[in-house]
Homo-oligomer: A and B are copies of this chain.
């Protein structure tokens, strides 16, 4: 019902294109892992390698401690939930969910009973006789989940399972997905390019870019202390401030930061870390270019006087909406900055 996964030295080429590069990753049994990255970074490819749809050019896939690199999808203790759900439109929900059991040779009665219990798990017990086209997007997503879980895989692979839903429904389904994973205890590997979704749901996030793993760890760690500039940007909005490393510290237009880098660098700070309440580092006066109310905060673009070429984005308290042209004094905590050296 659950198993750890280990990937060692995975490399994959599509012809000349190096789609997966030196992937090393261990996933614990029962963990909820998301693969996060921009379109084309290799998330689906990696998931396909896990599911057995692609045989990697190099490297090894272990599931539950056994080498599965060359085992066919049907023989693996994994099941994949596809982005478009890939429900069988000509079958009832019961038959959809029971399909895997039927392939395993389970008799009709037993199969229907099991299928219905899994439909119950996802809250669709009443709809067992319907067909997929009679369902809403969110309901289809649940059926796909039930179908994947019905074969009791050790590892469930989900390829953008919420990608087809609209934003509201997506946020609602995230909670549900997480709750079900808790209940069944199966290892989940979930692909997404939505960092909010990744944060909301994952025990651990794996940030990918151009076929590589850029960073991996718990959401809070990755958000606050991203290992690379790419991960920093991908995890949420980030202000980039040109900086220069002196070897022992970092010079920014707003003062010195105690980070030891050398040469051209960039200092990053999240919009919510900039504020109008006094803190250790004074950014100085900044002119509001525009500001919009976002419910929990006001998002403002500001041009700091100390670096008039720069536009900073700050999240300000929602109580008041500053007018364009207004001047504010910004402050920040120097620890909130992350500094990345740039190659020249």
Contact = CB atoms under 8 A, between A and B. Distances in A.
A39 interface: yes
| Count of this chain's copies in the oligomeric assembly | 2
Interface stretch (A93-101, A260-268, A287-295): A287-295
A223 B318 CA distance: 11
Interface in A270-296: 270, 272, 290, 292-296
A219 interface: yes
A292 B166 contact: no
A190 interface: no
A137 to B, nearest CB: 10
A299 B175 CA distance: 11
Interface in A130-165: none
Contacts of A220: 293, 318, 321
Given A167-B194, A318-B220, A199 B292 contact: yes
A223 B301 contact: no
- For chain A, give the interface size range: 35 or more
B295 A270 contact: yes
Contacts of A294: 196, 199-200
A296 B272 contact: yes
Given A178-B290, A296-B296, 10 more contacts: A39-B166, A171-B237, A179-B290, A199-B293, A201-B292, A223-B293, A236-B295, A236-B296, A270-B296, A272-B296
